[in-house]
Amino acid sequence: MKIIYKIMLLCLLLPATSCQKWLDLKPQNEQVSDAYWTNKAEVEAVLGAAYVKLQGAVKTMLVWGEGRGNTLSLGGYVDVDLSRLKNFSLLPTNSYAKWGEFYQIINYANMVIKYAPAVVEKDPSFNQATMASFLSEAYFLRALSYFYIVRSFGEAPLILEPYMDDQQAYELPKSSKAQLFEQIIQDLTVAATNGKEIWPTVWETKGRSTKWAIQALLADVYLWLGKYDEAIISCNAILQSGKYGLIQGTVNNKNNWFSIFNPGNSNEGIFEVQFDYSKNQTNKLMEIFGSNYNWIISNYCVSLFIENAEDIRGVGASYETISYKLWKYLGAEGNTTIPRPYSDQNWIIYRIADIYLMKAEALIMKGESYYPQAVELITAIRSRAAISRPLEAGSTELDLLKVLMEERAREFVGEGKRWFDLLRVAQRDQYKYKEYLIEQVLLGVSGASTPVIRSLLLNENAHYLPIHADELKYNKLLVQNPYYENLN
């Protein structure tokens, strides 16, 4: 790791005095732990670096979570690597198959986990409770990072020790999906014991790890593992906390649902990656969806909104009428043509609507006697969106899952969830719903490529990204993911 370059990013989050101490570094290859783990400010600096890296990973979260789904289509300017990802023709050299951003977050988290406890004895102002809170954040960020990695690559190295020195040999083989998920659960279980309920400011409460963000991530992980009772328990912890609620869809004839995205940090937000133009913290979302419009809403997703013309999340809110650009990231208000002045919208990872629908999914999977409760939760999301038409849920597990997934498509289009949603449902119970995944993906691709993609998706190994060629070059213990072994 190039320590000096990484630590410079801390100025985005920390006071000048704290940042300056980190910039006064000794020679590059001297271990940071030997000279810098002396006080609370330095621990918080490393933790802050992890959050800065999370800001930098927003584009990756978008591409990994949406790129192979069916609610976004390729728009105006599209680079070759993005086109190949969308069409499931990736090579190991594809730039979107790089996992480095998340391993950088993991490394900062590992530093805090290993070295923060000893700082308590060195700095009288750094008490045990504060240290435990910082550790909770580090465990959460590590778990979140591995969750993105395991869903995207299947197998990957499990690194639990910090990488401190540029000359340090650090080669590890891949760990299995089961091992990665086990570690994620362990980390979140530890994080939950000391997670804060609130922070002093709104942006911290929404943008730093909290007890509720931890429970939201746990619910998501449990859904992937088929642990439905546990998922419901985590959802209920949030729903019964009194901290969050569905905001009204319309207030004084204005689209209030849109306030989730601008100004953001609404009563629905559980964990949002924070951006603020006034602090020089911006992202590329207006470029991605606006000037370049790499992505536009897909015809399939538009058809879902058209089914309910009264849906306040549709045209003028989630997307523009003619261009099909995603207005939720470009506009200052819903149902207007007023643009955002700056690209500093938050990237929302979890909000309360997600908790409603994750709980509904868990209830569906628990069996027929739980279907009415699931329908009630889905209906609550539809009603908030001003949909008056009764929900036609069907009578089988797959019928209800389809209804649920359509609602998730409407509510979360462009929020980095669709591909992960499809894969989660498909791979359950030994790929019980593989055909559903294939059908759904094909709704979002061009007709000419349909036969090729259908054939490709029959191979479950093709559902994961290749390990990038650079990683294989520098880590000789890595083995390429099976589908890509003979591709270059």
Q: How many C-beta atoms surround the C-beta of residue 78 within 10 A?
A: 15
Inter-residue contact 333 to 258 (CB < 8 Å): yes
Find the DSSP H helices in 195-227: 202-207, 211-225
| Distances 406 to 87, 225, 413 between C-alpha atoms, Å | 22, 22, 10
Fold of the CATH domain 254-434:
1.25.40
The two tokens of residue 29 are 């290859």
pLDDT band at 34 (very low <50, low <70, confident <90, very high): low
Alpha-carbon span 356 to 232, nearest angstrom: 10
Q: What is the pLDDT of residue 168?
A: 61
pLDDT band at 366 (very low <50, low <70, confident <90, very high): very high
Whether residue 203 is predicted with pLDDT greater than 60 in this model: the reply is: yes
Whether residue 27 is predicted with pLDDT greater than 80 in this model: the reply is: no
What's the pLDDT tens digit per position in 383-442?
Answer: 999 999 999 999 999 999 999 999 999 999 999 999 999 999 999 999 999 999 999 999
The conformation of residue 289, written as its DSSP 8-state character, comes to I
The two tokens of residue 383 are 């009603």
| Distances 339 to 64, 187, 334 between C-alpha atoms, Å | 27, 41, 10
The torsion angle over the Cα atoms of residues 103, 104, 106 and 111, rounded to 10 degrees, is 140
Q: What is the pLDDT of residue 486?
A: 84
Whether residue 446 is predicted with pLDDT greater than 80 in this model: the reply is: no
Whether residue 3 is predicted with pLDDT greater than 80 in this model: the reply is: no
Alpha-carbon span 305 to 308, nearest angstrom: 6
Q: What is the pLDDT of residue 15?
A: 39
Q: What is the pLDDT of residue 293?
A: 85
Give the percent of the chain with pLDDT over 90.
Answer: 87
Alpha-carbon span 217 to 57, nearest angstrom: 17
Backbone angles phi, psi at 27, to 5 degrees: -50, 150
Inter-residue contact 262 to 332 (CB < 8 Å): yes
Alpha-carbon span 136 to 120, nearest angstrom: 15
Gyration radius of the chain over CA positions: 22
Q: What is the pLDDT of residue 50?
A: 98
- Dihedral sign of CA atoms 203, 58, 482, 103 in order: negative
Whether residue 478 is predicted with pLDDT greater than 90 in this model: the reply is: yes
Q: What is the pLDDT of residue 167?
A: 53
pLDDT band at 169 (very low <50, low <70, confident <90, very high): low
Alpha-carbon span 158 to 174, nearest angstrom: 7
Q: Parse the chain into domains and list their residue ranges.
A: 254-434
- Dihedral sign of CA atoms 226, 229, 234, 236 in order: positive
Widest distance between CA atoms in the chain: 67
The pLDDT of 168-172, averaged and rounded, is 74
Sequential DSSP letters for 100-159 = HHHHHHHHHHHHHHHHHHHHTTT-TTS-HHHHHHHHHHHHHHHHHHHHHHHHHHSSB---
Q: What is the pLDDT of residue 6?
A: 41
The conformation of residue 248, written as its DSSP 8-state character, comes to P
Whether residue 462 is predicted with pLDDT greater than 50 in this model: the reply is: yes
In 3D, which of 180, 174, 20, 183 has the Cα closest to residue 113?
A: 183
Peptide bond into 263 cis (omega under 30): yes
Q: What is the pLDDT of residue 36?
A: 85
What's the pLDDT tens digit per position in 105-119?
Answer: 999 999 999 999 999
The pLDDT of 25-43, averaged and rounded, is 64
Q: What is the pLDDT of residue 321?
A: 92
The two tokens of residue 277 are 């133009």
What's the pLDDT tens digit per position in 325-345?
Answer: 999 999 999 999 999 999 999
The pLDDT of 35-44, averaged and rounded, is 92
pLDDT band at 166 (very low <50, low <70, confident <90, very high): low
* 352-366 vs 211-225: helix crossing angle, rounded to 10: 30
Place of tokens 């261009």: 323
